[in-house]
Structure 1
Amino acid sequence: MSEQSANPLIGGPADPEHDSTAAYGLDRSYVASLTRRIVSTTGETHAVSSPIGGAPLGHVPQSGPADVTEAFVRARHAQAGWAATSIDERAAALLRLHDLLLDRQDELIDLVVWESGKARKDAYLEVAHLALTARYYARTAHEHLDTQRVGGMFPVLTRAEVHRVPKGVVGIISPWNYPLTMALCDGIPALLAGNAVVSKPDAQTMLTALLAAQLLDEAGFPPELWQVVAGPGPEVGGAIVAEADYICFTGSTATGRTIAKQCAERLIGCSLELGGKNPMLVLRDADVHRAAEGAVRGVFSNAGQLCVSMERLFVADQVYDRFVDAFVSRTQAMTLGASQDWSVDMGSLISQAQLDTVARHVEDAVAKGARVLTGGKARPDLGPFVFEPTILEGVSADMECFGKETFGPVVALYRFHSEDEAVERANDGAYGLNASVYTRDGARGRAVARRIKAGTVNVNEAYGATFGSLGAPMGGMRESGMGRRQGAEGIHRYTEAQSVATQRLVPIAPMLGMSEETNAKVMTAALRLLNKLGRA
């Protein structure tokens, strides 16, 4: 505890008789330095505490609709000047952010763990992913944003080019489960494209998002360019949708539907990453131990509170028993806890509400005949919201966890007899966010992957291969959402494509008194010639 008490983020023990992590909260002056960035005139605050022993974290000022309007006024003013800066200047700020993230990683990781309760190793991955995102977009800025020459109607005579024009002010509504990554990863390409951002992070992890915004200032972005508001989703989130030029939302499918309708009313675009019930397929030729290791990470990272984590495991008959033995053994060897210690394999759920959902899904499944191979219980001795990593067998369609997203450390195992059956069952349901295929034959795995209706599919990995490949777009099919983050699509969504064509020498019309009929014949001859020459 001595190391944590020396941390400048952390205040002294609330109860001197109990020298434990639970007795510590964030330093008040530190919290005040972060929350000053929130646009708030309501005078109202929201008290937040940590999943780690209920430690107090502070009081977060709340915004109202008038504050959202003011945030957009400030952002629009800043955006006008920012759009006039060069792509190189914007990219240079992202590279400075990359280094700041790595330099300040201990502070960032500490705050992520305090707010979310996740294992420290999972919090580090947030820093790494965000640094990768900043570097990727900085290094590929010209590739995505430079004006492009395209083929004109007539070679030489028609010059056509496409410009990427920023949308204006982007509204970003981000979730609690990856409070650092999700606070900035969608906004980084928006800034690079010349936009401003008004952000509403989830109330449970507001402080991490505020620290991320502070790093943007330190990296050299104009302070007014990134505005932060706080408050209830229906009130503050709705006000953002009413003002923004584009909306980026990550969260539940139900809320995503509402936002999509609101955006449609205003004829603005949106990208939505929503729910998932992600499948992993372990084929008959899979390396059982590699698949079991991947399943542990794919199911239990961040205590299963990851949009792309696995909740359904389909395993071939030929390897089922060996896989289950290896998977259960690895799961039982995990260390659990709610602390800042690097030795914790799986941390806490974030809240009582999340714990209640997980417990209800497990209890319902067991009551209807499912078998618990390991786990299945809350662990209040380790933390108020810790739940054991849980593997279920015999889950059927009448059970709540069969088709509904649990978003916790619970997975259901199923045998399959043929790959066609496995693909069909993987595609069952309304979601299509992420999937995984384990096999010793990479080509075969990729062939199976293409048959799965999911926005990302990983072969011999659960989610990290696609999530960490920043050039590859990421998002959901069907009720898992619309639009993509990462890659070209991840930045082009924040731009308008503007086409400019210049016609030289001759008009696209009859010339020199030529009749319409003669002009049509000349045009037809020209079209035939261009086709013979192989022109597009």
Structure 2
Amino acid sequence: MTAPRPGDPLLDGPHDPEHDPRASYVLEPSHVASLTGRIVATTGRTAEVRSPVNDAPLAHVPQSSPEDVAEAFARARTAQQVWAGTPAEARAEVLLRFHDLVLERAEEVMDLICWESGKARTHAFDEIGHVALTARYYARTGAGTLARRRVPGVVPGLTRVEVNRVAKGVVGVISPWNYPFTMALCDGVAAVMAGNAVVLKPDAQTMLTALLGVELLELAGAPRGLWQVVAGPGPEIGGAVVAHADYVCFTGSTATGRRIAAGCAERLIGCSLELGGKNPMLVLADADVERAAEGAVRASFSNAGQLCVSTERIFVADAVYEAFVDRFVARTQALSLGAGTGWGIDVGSLVSAAQLEKVTAHVDDAVAHGAAVLTGGRHRPDLGPYVFEPTILEGVNPSMACFAEETFGPVVALHRFTDEADAVARANEGDFGLNAAVFGRDAAHARRVARALHCGTVNVNEGFAATFGSIAAPMGGMRSSGLGRRQGAEGLLRFTESQSVATQRLLPLAPSLGLDDRRYAVALTAALRAMKRLGRA
């Protein structure tokens, strides 16, 4: 992949790409063809992908039909039958090579992430780190987690029990646009480590980034048929993914997640769903104001707020409210905005016109109903088609759309509190429960507050990165924020079925040695009492 050179006729207008960060980005045609050639698609239809950086075309992506989805699953099943018999240690070696390739090709991957999603390069790097961490974690721990294990049998010495972990088969992954590299790969990496194949349907806006990830995985040694890719609108082919998968991973809206869960329930297959959030942050009375303000900026405005675990509500204790607001506003106003692929941009672009419309509507509605804009609140077309200023609102109330609805943009509302228990109760309001943050100098007390929050992940003195980057810790939502967990042992074992194999020795679990039914029951009762006295589980 190369950037265009000055004078290249494919440049979008007269921009010099060495000086204009919004100059068009052109992929090598042969590489585009190689990437899109991985898509299982026979319809003859294509969809144009345009960059939110400057609205320039990036590629025409072949579109799949439901029949193509069925074919992708058939191919994946063939490959999975061989892969399931590959030792876990050999699968781990593939993931370790993938880890190295992701780091070696990081600049290229970040370029493509920026051009397809519009995010700042520093947040594109977050994806590089997360995918590498995920691959390494499962490569190092996967064999042990999946290993056959012994558990106690019903009769000590007579009953031997082993528990095996059996791969589900073919996992369907439906990934979003906001983190196009990590969300397309992190679930599938664990699935592959567990012995499964994958059929991936990335979001239409970020197909090329996902395809580049699959290319790197195959360069690392994964069999080509093991990871299939389909493309098309969710309403057209999403149902086909659910209809053929043995397990489904979905990251996206709660409304779509509910439909996927219903489809999985109909087929009696499992699913894991990371859905929406209206994530709270609590700044306690003893918080380090400067640290809390810095954390709030990253928690609220990373990836222009287009992050499932992004903070959208901040509850601040009276004792530090004024000082916190002063520092939070000042730090927000110091952020650099823009659309491009270079370092130095703090807040990048929204991904699309639809996302810009939603963010603008939430801010306009809040202002119309009496909220105050402390900073931001404006679309900045001078910086990029969909750039919107980081926005801090005060006075948000239930009459406003942004009070309870997820904005999924660079907009955060401030709320003052006097009583800590009341702040916890307000933070727990609503149906969501994905991520939260607590800032306070007394870390032990902050952790106690964290345990009272109804969220799947809670960060103390950090916004989201501490839990998100700790791959050994499970991550997911409560309530309407989802089902299941990615990361940690849970994130691997979800892709397996447990199989118990018990071997009975010498005596059957039935009357024997001349005992009739009654005397057998008496003997078994005595044995049960003895095992309790011995402390046996």
TM-score bucket of the superposed structures, by smaller chain: over 0.9
1:15 to 13, 16, 20: 13
Cα displacement (A) at 1:12: 4.1
Q: Report if aligned partners of 1:93, 1:221 keep a CA contact under 8 Å in 2.
A: yes
Cα displacement (A) at 1:327: 0.1
1:44 pairs with 2:45: yes
Equivalent position amino acid for 2:253 in 1: S
Q: Deviation string for 1:197-221 (max 9, x for gaps)? A: 0000000000000000001110000
Matched residue, 1:35: 36
Q: Report if aligned partners of 2:390, 2:411 keep a CA contact under 8 Å in 1.
A: yes
Matched residue, 1:337: 338
Matched residue, 1:290: 291
1:346 pairs with 2:347: yes
SS in 2 for 1:60: strand
Q: Report if aligned partners of 2:433, 2:481 keep a CA contact under 8 Å in 1.
A: yes
Q: Report if aligned partners of 2:249, 2:271 keep a CA contact under 8 Å in 1.
A: yes
Q: Distance in 2 between matches of 1:177 and 1:499?
A: 40
Q: Distance in 2 between matches of 1:167 and 1:505?
A: 34
Q: Report if aligned partners of 2:95, 2:135 keep a CA contact under 8 Å in 1.
A: yes
Cα displacement (A) at 1:340: 1.1
Q: Report if aligned partners of 2:4, 2:26 keep a CA contact under 8 Å in 1.
A: no
Equivalent position amino acid for 1:322 in 2: A
Equivalent position amino acid for 2:24 in 1: Y
SS in 1 for 2:413: strand
Q: 1:193 to 1:22 in 2, by over 3 A?
A: same
Cα displacement (A) at 1:143: 2.3
Q: Distance in 2 between matches of 1:108 and 1:408?
A: 23
Equivalent position amino acid for 2:497 in 1: E
SS in 2 for 1:47: strand
Cα displacement (A) at 1:529: 1.1
Q: Deviation string for 1:295-330 (max 9, x for gaps)? A: 000000000000000000000000000000000000
Q: Distance in 1 between matches of 2:525 and 2:94?
A: 52
Matched residue, 2:524: 523
Q: Distance in 2 between matches of 1:16 and 1:348?
A: 22
Computed over aligned residues only, the root mean square deviation of the Cα atoms, in angstroms, reads: 1.3
In structure 2, the gaps of 5 or more residues are: none
Equivalent position amino acid for 2:26 in 1: L
Equivalent position amino acid for 2:51 in 1: S
Between 285-294 and 10-19, report the one with greater CA deviation.
Answer: 10-19
Equivalent position amino acid for 1:436 in 2: A
Q: Report if aligned partners of 1:474, 1:484 keep a CA contact under 8 Å in 2.
A: yes
Matched residue, 2:419: 418
Matched residue, 1:251: 252
Q: Deviation string for 1:387-407 (max 9, x for gaps)? A: 000000000001000000000
Q: Deviation string for 1:241-264 (max 9, x for gaps)? A: 000000000000000000111111
Q: Distance in 2 between matches of 1:45 and 1:334?
A: 38
Matched residue, 1:391: 392
Q: Deviation string for 1:64-100 (max 9, x for gaps)? A: 0110011011000000000000000000000000000
Q: Report if aligned partners of 2:48, 2:61 keep a CA contact under 8 Å in 1.
A: yes
Matched residue, 2:24: 24
Matched residue, 1:135: 136
Q: Distance in 2 between matches of 1:17 and 1:83?
A: 51
Equivalent position amino acid for 2:419 in 1: S
Q: 1:199 to 1:414 in 2, by over 3 A?
A: same
1:442 pairs with 2:440: no
Q: Distance in 1 between matches of 2:386 and 2:148?
A: 51
Q: Deviation string for 1:436-456 (max 9, x for gaps)? A: 000001110110000000000
Q: Deviation string for 1:218-244 (max 9, x for gaps)? A: 000000000000001011111010000
Q: 1:376 to 1:400 in 2, by over 3 A?
A: same
Matched residue, 1:278: 279
Q: 1:520 to 1:486 in 2, by over 3 A?
A: same
1:299 pairs with 2:293: no
Q: Report if aligned partners of 2:96, 2:135 keep a CA contact under 8 Å in 1.
A: yes
Between 26-35 and 212-221, report the one with greater CA deviation.
Answer: 26-35
Matched residue, 1:191: 192
Q: Distance in 1 between matches of 2:377 and 2:238?
A: 36
SS in 1 for 2:432: coil
Matched residue, 1:54: 55
Equivalent position amino acid for 1:369 in 2: G
Matched residue, 1:125: 126
Q: Distance in 2 between matches of 1:11 and 1:282?
A: 53
Q: Report if aligned partners of 2:435, 2:456 keep a CA contact under 8 Å in 1.
A: yes
1:491 pairs with 2:492: yes
1:115 pairs with 2:116: yes
Cα displacement (A) at 1:25: 3.2
Q: Distance in 2 between matches of 1:446 and 1:120?
A: 33
TM-score norm. by structure 1 comes to 0.98
Q: Report if aligned partners of 1:247, 1:270 keep a CA contact under 8 Å in 2.
A: yes
Q: Distance in 2 between matches of 1:11 and 1:194?
A: 47
Matched residue, 2:96: 95
Equivalent position amino acid for 1:25 in 2: Y
TM-score norm. by structure 2 comes to 0.98
Cα displacement (A) at 1:23: 4.2
Equivalent position amino acid for 2:429 in 1: D
Q: Distance in 1 between matches of 2:15 and 2:144?
A: 59
Q: Distance in 2 between matches of 1:349 and 1:446?
A: 34
Percent identity of equivalent pairs: 66
The number of aligned residues is: 532
Q: Distance in 2 between matches of 1:14 and 1:332?
A: 31
Q: Distance in 2 between matches of 1:29 and 1:326?
A: 50
Matched residue, 2:380: 379
Equivalent position amino acid for 1:257 in 2: R
Equivalent position amino acid for 1:344 in 2: I
SS in 1 for 2:470: coil
Where do residues 475-514 of structure 1 align in structure 2 (5 Å cutoff)? 475-514=476-515
In structure 1, the gaps of 5 or more residues are: none
Q: Distance in 2 between matches of 1:214 and 1:187?
A: 14
Q: Deviation string for 1:6-36 (max 9, x for gaps)? A: 69xx984143466644442323322112101
SS in 2 for 1:488: helix
Q: Deviation string for 1:107-132 (max 9, x for gaps)? A: 00000000000000000010001000
